[in-house]
Amino acid sequence: MDGQSGQSALGAFLQARRSRLRPEDIGLDTYGERRRVPGLRREELALLAGVSASYYARLEQGHSHNASPEVLDAIAQALCLDETERLHLRDLAGAAARRRRPARRPPPERVDAPTRTLLDSMPDVPAVVTGRRADVLAWNPLGHALFAGHLDPSAPERSADRPNMARFLFLDAHARDLYLTWESKARAVVANLRYAVGRHPDDALLASLIGELSMKSAEFAKMWADHRVRPCTIAEHKMQHPLVGPMTVTQQALNLSDDQVLVVATAPAGSEGRTALQLLAQATTAPTTIPATTSPSY
């Protein structure tokens, strides 16, 4: 996806995960041997997985694309992958096994009427609907005010102008000021994009987004090279909002469909975060709401 074929993406993921395993993690005694590179050697990983060293080397180098589900499961176990990573491994192996198709431009993403009704029914909860590439497909007024009040509130209605949460996080200075826990939020977004790439290897717009962020942000490129994969679910974040000050909120990502996610932010009753959200809700109903600008879409 990021300039790689399905096979090389599979190999890069295997190599990245192998390099994270230390011999002592698997009970391997190296007898004080000094290693030039971190992690397990290919032949050590192959031995753990019960496959030949030459076969595993071909798989990691992208010269073999016929790994059986049993072999993939054995390699996943040897690499100590969790369930999400195992699914990602299977996605990458499937992309490698298929005849490579040219990246294609998928149809525009849209929010259906029931989802819009859902957003309208929760005015006191910041809510944003994102698509497979982290594009903002819709948000309610409080969601707009919390995450990107400096952007045009109507931008999600126009596919060409839709903000993108990954671009926003890495390329918009507002995000750096907004998230006091910026690095953890950034890593979560990158890991979620990795998950999307495994599921949609032929998405040309997703490939373009990864390439753009890799070119424009050294931090993104470094995190992307780490090959962490994880769909966004739930996490606590400390924020410093320009209108209402500090708050700690829990952000949850709720699946609406295979590709669309509802992101909400909540805080316990009586907490500083709940008070800040209530103040922000009042600000969104005032005549002088957060001023919108015509700044670039993020």
Q: What does the pLDDT read at residue 30?
A: 56
Rounded CA-CA distance 149/132 in Å is 23
Q: Please list the ranges in the chain whose pLDDT falls under 50.
A: 3, 5-7, 288-291, 294-295
Q: What does the pLDDT read at residue 36?
A: 67
What strands, in cross-sheet order, belong to the sheet with 127-130? 136-139, 127-130, 261-266, 245-255, 234-241
pTM of the model: 0.75
Q: What does the pLDDT read at residue 252?
A: 96
Q: What does the pLDDT read at residue 49?
A: 81
